[in-house]
Chain A
Amino acid sequence: MKNVRIIPRLDIKGPNLVKGIHMEGLRVLGQPWEFARHYYENGADELIFVDVVASLYQRNSLKDIISKTARETFIPLTVAGGIRTIENMKDILRAGADKVAINTAAIQNPEFIRTASRLFGSSTIVVSIEAMLENGKYLVYTDNGREYTGVEALAWAKKAEELGAGEILLTSIDREGTGEGFDEELTIMVSKAVSIPVIACGGCGTLEHVAGVILDGGAEAVSMASVLHYAMAGRSDAARITGEGNTEFLRSGRSLSTITPLGIGDIKKYLRSHAIPCRHELDGINAK
């Protein structure tokens, strides 16, 4: 069996790390950089940064965070959110991203995938698909789950591959932020239909969920946010928040009752004990 990747997803609004449920009701959880460093040092295989409001306001405020992360961590970094032009891509790659993920811009102009993958190489271009189940069909949404497109996820995934996408970041809007488990049906449907890697995202709540979406969903990589973030949120170093946003959750000192926080080390140990190979420290030290 192939090695799978564990990829923390960091949703960013302004200067802060945020997390919502079904992509709404964003809570401020802390400083993105502190989370990124923690995940890097604890064995994350990659990082995904998502500027969750960029698409809405057509701006991208991630560059400072990307630059700092790229200077101090040395694992692949994917950036998503509000990337609409080749110039945007150049900017983000120059700031330190290794890959860019596009959703809205690709739906509006599918040829953009081809242009971008020819210019930067397929392995640099990730197509992000955010899908919701409606009347038995998985339909694609854009603008971080806000805009209905009517496009079917399966057909869109195949087309994205054909146009030169290197990977698919597949998010279930129904499961996103709930901790109820990945949408394995959505994942296996897409994974079986394309020959490029699929990153499953949305719904991770337990170790069994991670193993399930790999074994039954056919995911090459698994991305998660809440389960990792809530283990970190509230730590004094991460909680120095600035700027606007809903900070009530952080101030209250509560934990999220529906999700038991997990560490990356816990996840990898569990996977390996279930014969799912993944990168791990060979000398038994789980950090730098």
Chain B
Amino acid sequence: MQSKKTVIVDYGMGNMFSVLRACANAGLDAVLTADRKEVEAADAVILPGVGAFGAAMENINRLDLAKPLKDFCASGRPLLGVCLGFQLLMTESEEFGMNRGLDVIKGVVRKFPVPNNEGAKVPQIGWNAIKQCRSWEGTVLEGLVDGEYMYFVHSFYVALDSTEAACSNTSYAGIEYTSSISRGNVFACQFHPEKSAWNGLKIYTNFKKRVTGE
């Protein structure tokens, strides 16, 4: 039997190697690619990314990846969005003027207020708690404890139009924001599970189970 193939979309934004290593740790057969055909043919897709929303969408459009990614989300095959990869699933971002996103999930990407009444520095760089806002059963967060710590690096956060898809909330700079979502086959998180030690690796292990149907 041929093993299931996971594609990590390498569209030139940030260090994808840590995602690749987390996949290897979870036993997921993954490759880095920017080729739309490979995305279309994949059994599962991981959309990572670090950096600016506008530049990321520019790269995605230039590589002709927007439609394949949207189609993939609609296909029922598992997709994991991480950090900027989570934000890109939204309708738009207010980073340096308005930028259109993939519009898979209705929502806006906003900047943390600076200064803020908590004296919190922006970007948020560090560990923070993810608080359950609905059951994690059947999502890739299954098995984690409510309030678990994950590693975050970001200046912008996701504000969903409707919080139906939200799995967890996190508080920073006086804002309580959605830190992960799950809707059908699409899961995405603002934090970096590949940098969140053994608890983050559980997310990759759970994702692998979805990919292989274990």
Contacts and interface: CB of A to CB of B under 8 A. Distances in A.
A120 B17 CA distance: 13
B123 interface: yes
Given A5-B127, A195-B121, A282 B197 contact: no
Contacts, number: 92
A166 B15 contact: no
B31 to A, nearest CB: 16
Given A123-B50, A282-B148, A288-B198, A3 B114 contact: no
Interface in A61-109: 70-71, 73-76, 93-94, 96, 98
Nearest to A71: B21
A134 interface: no
Contacts of B122: 195
A124 B14 CA distance: 9
Given A71-B21, A96-B18, A278 B194 contact: no
Given A74-B194, A98-B195, A288-B198, A4 B126 contact: yes
A93 B151 contact: no
B88 to A, nearest CB: 15
A121 B118 contact: no
A176 interface: no
A2 B120 contact: yes
B196 A74 contact: yes
B128 interface: yes
A166 B50 contact: no
Interface in B125-171: 125-128, 145, 147-149, 151, 153
B172 A76 contact: no
B201 A74 contact: yes
Given A96-B21, A288-B198, A196 B149 contact: no
Interface of B is mostly: mixed
Interface residues of B, number: 37
Nearest to B172: A2
B198 A220 contact: no
Q: How large is the interface on A (under 10, 10 to 19, 20 to 34, 35 or more residues)?
A: 35 or more
Interface in A1-52: 1-5, 40, 45
A266 interface: no
B78 interface: no
Contacts of B85: none
A178 interface: no
B22 interface: yes
B33 interface: no
B75 interface: no
From B13, B25, B153, name the one whose CB has the most chain A CB atoms within 10 angstroms: B153
A110 interface: no
Contacts of B21: 70-71, 74, 96
A121 B51 CA distance: 5
A166 B125 contact: yes
Interface of B: 13-15, 17-18, 21-22, 24-25, 50-52, 114-115, 118, 120-123, 125-128, 145, 147-149, 151, 153, 172, 194-198, 200-201
Please name the 10 residue pairs, one residue from A and one from B, whose CB atoms are nearest each other, closest first. Answer: A279-B127, A279-B149, A121-B51, A282-B145, A123-B153, A288-B198, A121-B50, A5-B126, A197-B121, A76-B195
